[in-house]
Amino acid sequence: MPQTLKNASSRYGADMGRPDHISEPDAPIKFHLRYMPFVDGDYDKGGAYWGCGEPIFHAWGDGQEEEQEMFIRASDRFHARLEVRKQFTNARFYR
Protein backbone atom coordinates (compact mmCIF):
# COMPACT_ATOMS: atom_id res chain seq x y z
CA MET A 1 0.00 0.00 0.00
CA PRO A 2 2.13 2.92 -1.18
CA GLN A 3 1.59 6.25 0.48
CA THR A 4 0.96 9.10 -1.95
CA LEU A 5 3.24 12.05 -1.32
CA LYS A 6 1.73 15.53 -1.45
CA ASN A 7 3.01 17.81 -4.18
CA ALA A 8 5.97 19.72 -2.73
CA SER A 9 6.77 21.96 -5.67
CA SER A 10 5.34 25.31 -6.62
CA ARG A 11 6.16 28.22 -8.88
CA TYR A 12 8.64 29.32 -6.19
CA GLY A 13 10.59 26.04 -6.25
CA ALA A 14 10.64 22.79 -4.31
CA ASP A 15 10.31 22.17 -0.58
CA MET A 16 13.55 21.04 1.04
CA GLY A 17 12.71 17.59 2.37
CA ARG A 18 9.46 16.84 4.17
CA PRO A 19 8.46 17.33 7.82
CA ASP A 20 7.99 14.43 10.21
CA HIS A 21 4.71 14.14 12.07
CA ILE A 22 5.33 12.76 15.57
CA SER A 23 2.56 13.41 18.07
CA GLU A 24 2.12 9.97 19.70
CA PRO A 25 5.66 8.65 20.39
CA ASP A 26 4.52 6.08 22.99
CA ALA A 27 1.59 4.64 21.03
CA PRO A 28 1.82 1.04 19.74
CA ILE A 29 1.87 1.90 16.02
CA LYS A 30 2.40 -0.55 13.19
CA PHE A 31 4.38 1.25 10.47
CA HIS A 32 4.67 0.83 6.75
CA LEU A 33 8.31 1.43 5.80
CA ARG A 34 9.22 2.03 2.17
CA TYR A 35 12.34 3.06 0.30
CA MET A 36 11.71 6.32 -1.58
CA PRO A 37 13.37 6.34 -5.01
CA PHE A 38 14.68 9.64 -6.27
CA VAL A 39 13.41 11.25 -9.46
CA ASP A 40 15.68 13.59 -11.42
CA GLY A 41 18.58 12.93 -9.09
CA ASP A 42 17.73 14.49 -5.72
CA TYR A 43 13.91 14.87 -5.71
CA ASP A 44 11.18 12.52 -4.48
CA LYS A 45 8.12 11.66 -6.59
CA GLY A 46 6.17 14.52 -4.99
CA GLY A 47 8.80 17.10 -5.95
CA ALA A 48 10.54 17.66 -2.57
CA TYR A 49 14.29 18.26 -2.78
CA TRP A 50 16.51 16.01 -0.63
CA GLY A 51 20.00 16.58 -1.99
CA CYS A 52 22.48 13.76 -2.31
CA GLY A 53 23.36 11.36 0.47
CA GLU A 54 22.05 8.15 1.92
CA PRO A 55 18.74 6.78 0.66
CA ILE A 56 15.46 8.06 2.10
CA PHE A 57 12.90 5.79 3.76
CA HIS A 58 9.31 6.81 4.44
CA ALA A 59 7.57 5.40 7.54
CA TRP A 60 3.88 5.97 8.25
CA GLY A 61 1.21 4.38 10.40
CA ASP A 62 -2.10 5.07 12.07
CA GLY A 63 -1.75 6.37 15.59
CA GLN A 64 -4.56 6.32 18.13
CA GLU A 65 -5.64 9.83 17.12
CA GLU A 66 -3.91 10.62 13.79
CA GLU A 67 -1.41 9.32 11.26
CA GLN A 68 2.25 9.38 12.30
CA GLU A 69 4.97 9.87 9.70
CA MET A 70 8.76 10.01 9.44
CA PHE A 71 11.32 10.43 6.68
CA ILE A 72 14.64 8.76 7.46
CA ARG A 73 18.06 8.80 5.82
CA ALA A 74 19.54 5.36 6.28
CA SER A 75 21.79 2.96 4.39
CA ASP A 76 19.20 0.16 4.50
CA ARG A 77 15.82 -0.91 5.89
CA PHE A 78 17.34 -2.34 9.10
CA HIS A 79 18.91 1.01 10.03
CA ALA A 80 15.76 2.90 9.05
CA ARG A 81 13.77 0.74 11.50
CA LEU A 82 16.26 1.58 14.26
CA GLU A 83 15.77 5.31 13.59
CA VAL A 84 11.97 4.98 13.73
CA ARG A 85 12.26 3.13 17.07
CA LYS A 86 14.30 6.03 18.49
CA GLN A 87 11.18 8.20 18.11
CA PHE A 88 8.45 5.54 18.53
CA THR A 89 9.50 3.16 21.30
CA ASN A 90 6.61 0.73 20.68
CA ALA A 91 6.87 0.70 16.87
CA ARG A 92 6.14 -2.46 14.91
CA PHE A 93 6.47 -2.87 11.14
CA TYR A 94 4.64 -4.48 8.27
CA ARG A 95 6.88 -6.71 6.15
Domain limits of the chain?
23-93
Spatial distance between the Cα atoms of 20 and 58, rounded to a whole number of angstroms = 10
Q: Where do the H-state alpha helices sit in 13-87?
A: 77-87
Q: What is the pLDDT of residue 12?
A: 81
> Which pLDDT band, with edges at 50, 70 and 90, does 1 fall under?
very low
The model's pTM = 0.89
* CB-count exposure of residue 48 (10 Å: 0-12, 13-18, 19+): buried
- Residue 36: CB atoms within 10 A of its CB come to 19
Integer CA distances (angstroms), 35 to 11, 58, 66, 91, in order: 27, 6, 22, 18
